Each structure stands twice: as C-alpha cells, then as structure tokens.
Structure 1
Amino acid sequence: MKTLDRLLLGSGLLIPLWLLAGVWLTAQAYPGYDHLQQAMSQLGAVGSPTHDWSPRVNNFPLAALFILFAWGLARRWQGSKLALLSAGLVLLHGLGSLGAGWFPCDQGCAPAQPSTSQQLHNLSGLLMFLSLTLASALWAWLGNRIAGSRPLALFSLACVILAIVTVALMGQAAQSGQLFGLYQRLNYGVAVLWVAGLAWASLRRPAVSPLRMAAI
C-alpha cells in the first residue's frame, strides 16, 4: 500500500481522538458547560463564549479529516461500486460537518422560531447522521465480502443498530430536557468509532480478488 493511501486512511483513526480532544478543550472555555445535558453544537452557538473558535477547533478540522478519509477509502476499495458509494457518503458527512460549523445554531440551539442559520445547521446535522449510518450499513454487507472480515461486518451492523437506538434516545431527551448531551455523545461516538474501525480494517486487511470486488 502506498504511503499516501496509509496517510489518507490513517486520518480515520485520528477522527475520534480529535473529536474527544476538541470538544473537551472547547468546553473548558465555556463556564458551566454540562456535557451530559448540553449539545455539542451549543459550543459554537450564537452568543456562546466559544462561538468564534469552536468550529475552527471542531467542525472544520473534522470536516477535513472526513474528506481525506473518504479519499483514502475511494482509493483503497476502488474496485467496488458500493465501497465507492460508502466513500461518497463519508465525503457528504465531512461536508455536513463543514455546514454545521459554518451555520451556527441559535442561542440554546432550540428556539421556538429558528433562524435560517439554525435550519441549515439542523439540515447539516441530519446529513451527518444519515450519511454515516448508511455508510456503516453498507459495510455491514461489504465487510466480509470485499475486506474478508466478518468482525468488520458485525461491528458495522452493531454500529447501525446503536446509531438508531441512540438517535431515538436523543429525541426523547430533547422532549424531556434531560441527558440530551449524553445521548448525542453516545450517538456520535458510535459513528466515529465505526470510522476508526473501518480505517483500521482498510489498513490491515487484504482485499478480495479484483474480479470478485468488481461484482460488488
């Protein structure tokens, strides 16, 4: 495998670490911020103490890492159309992260009458959720077929299930006003850990024969 491919795929391993460090660091400058109750988006919300630099620490660098990883996936599994589709979905996730940072949510992130920026922020967040959930669903099928890894396939399937369960819990928490931050972190944590798992498998596992991959 070429050095460029290793660097591109390695960006996927960096994503969970960057997210953890970036959110923790940004929250230190937000007095009274509660990770269990508050959404990560509130770090960059209009009027927050960290409004100006939260997207520069979190959304924008993460967007770049996702885009680089998508490029790496496309190069690594170029023989499979479905794998290329998954790379495109990861790319969309990166663009969603860019949009979520570029368009901050309103103060509190849950206004009765959301601004245009809030609506675009929400749309970006929806794109982020759907793109990685669909990508992991693809790899629940592809994992064993083109990477020869049943553990990757099962891990991807488990992540799809956990993503759906935690997003449902997020919806309930939004209604009750309790523990939204916790469930959001669990939801996105599952997503970025799946990315790291796929990056690791892509770096470590040999591909199946080109003829078989071309049929998938």
Structure 2
Amino acid sequence: MRGGDVLLSRLALAALVAGLGILVAAVVWAGSVYPDYDHARQFISELGATGAVTGAEVSRWGFVPNGVLVAVFSVLAAWVLRRSALAVTACLLLAANGIGMAGAGVYPCDFECSRSDPSAAALLHDLFGGLGYVCGIAGVGLASLWARKSEAPWLAPLGLGVLVVSLVGFYGVVAEVALMGLFQRAMEAALAVFMLALGWALARGLRASRS
C-alpha cells in the first residue's frame, strides 16, 4: 500500500467529516433562531434564502464549505481508487454533489424558496441543487455496483439501501409533499452515511484493482 494513498485517504475522511459537521451545525443553529421554522415541513434551503434572518450565514458558512469539503473528499477518493474506472466515475459524481451544494450556497433561493416569479439566483439555486442530488444518487449507485467485487463488499448492500432512501427522498423534494423537509433530510442523511462508510473503508485500506 502506498504511503501517499494512506495519507490521502485519511485527509479525505477528515475533509468529509468536517464538511458534514459544518452543515449539521449550520442547520441546527439556523433552525433554532429562524422564527417558527419546521424542519419536517420546510426545505433546508429556506434557512439560507435571500432575506432570511439566517440567510447569509447559512449559505456562506454552511452550504458553501460543506460542498467544497465534500468535493475535496470525493476527488481524493477518486485518486485513491484510480485503478478502477467505475470507482473513479462514482467518486466524481459524488464530487458533483458537493459542487451542487456549494453552488446552491453561492446562489440562494428567494425568501421561503418561493416559486412565484423566481429570480435568476433562485433558478441557479434549483439547477445546482437538483443536479447535485441527481449526481449524488447516481454516484452511490455506481459505487455500490463497484463495491460488489471490491475488498469491501458490504458497501454494496449499504449503497442499495441508501439508493432507495435517496430516491424516495428526492421524489418528496421534487413533488413538494407535506413533509418535504423530512424527505430532504432523509436523502441528505442517507448520502452522508454512504460517503462516511466509503471514507472509513478508504482510511482502513480499501483500494481498487485495475479494471
């Protein structure tokens, strides 16, 4: 095992943990100070929306650093797993998920994420966020497929479960069901669980065989 890859794997996991921790802290804090905010019925993006009391803080110091650190984790993971084209593709899709989150922070949605007469920033927010979710879900699917014949086959069934939860959660977000906030958080949590599991496996020595 190359010493450089060992270090990169640990750095990748550290970046991921830091990114997820920043997002959780931002959402918990903002939800506690945002008047009458309901985590189960409102989007996370509303906490970072234009005009929201927590908008600038959540977007700049929550969404953007989270997305950047998730992308850093994913790119480092792609390098460590560079011997497999499928694993690299999966990791780059996960990186796109991070870029989507960062982009959604740079371009916040309108107040309360209103869809009536959306601003250019709001349209870009939906574009970055939506594509980020799609890429993240696809990345989990490909990573699970690769993991079946890897040194960590347990990632495959975990990924399948995460894929199901993420697809259901994504449906709830797109359809804007009554508990859309809960659906979104379930999807976010599921994706985070898989990436943490992948990061832990990499730190424990998971590597890829040549395709």
Residue 205 of structure 1, CA deviation? 4.2
Aligned position for 1:214? 210
- Asked whether the equivalents of residues 156 and 194 of structure 1 are also in contact (C-alpha less than 8 Å), the reply is yes
CA separation of 1:181 and 1:206: change in aligned 2, threshold 3 A? closer
Q: Structure 2 CA distance, aligned partners of 1:158 and 1:195?
A: 13
2:60 and 2:117 map into 1 onto residues whose CA distance is 27
Give, as a single letter, the amino acid of the residue that structure 2 aligns with 1:195.
M
- CA displacement 1:152-193 (0-9 Å, x = unmatched): 111011111111112223344x2x5x2221111111111111
% identical aligned pairs: 28
Q: Could you tell me which amino acid in structure 2 is paired with residue 203 of structure 1?
A: A
Q: Secondary structure at the match of 2:154?
A: helix
SS in 2 for 1:214: coil
Corresponding position of 1:62: 66
The answer as to 2:141 corresponding to 1:145 is: no
Is the CA contact 1:96–1:125 (under 8 Å) kept in the aligned structure 2?
Answer: yes
Asked if the contact 2:71/2:94 (under 8 Å) is kept, the reply is: yes
Match of 1:12 among 13, 16, 34: 16
Q: CA deviation at 1:3?
A: 2.4
5+ residue gaps, structure 1: none
1:127 corresponds in structure 2 to: 131
Instruction: Pick closer, same or farther for the CA change 1:206–1:195 going to 2, 3 Å.
Output: closer
Q: RMSD of the alignment, in Å?
A: 1.7
Q: What letter matches 1:181 in structure 2?
A: G
| Structure 2 unpaired stretches of 5+ | none
SS of the equivalent of 1:58 reads helix
Q: What code does the residue aligned with 1:7 have?
A: L
The runs of at least 4 consecutive aligned structure 1 residues that moved more than 6 Å come to none
* 2:105 paired residue number: 101
CA distance in 2, matches of 1:63, 1:170: 19
Residue 45 of structure 1 is matched in structure 2 by 49
The equivalent of 1:169 in structure 2 is 172
Structure-2 residue corresponding to 1:182: 182
CA distance in 2, matches of 1:15, 1:201: 18
Question: Which segment drifts farther, 197-206 or 124-133?
Answer: 197-206
Partner of residue 119, structure 2: 115
Partner of 2:191: 191
Relative to the length of structure 1, the TM-score reads: 0.88
Aligned residues between the structures: 207
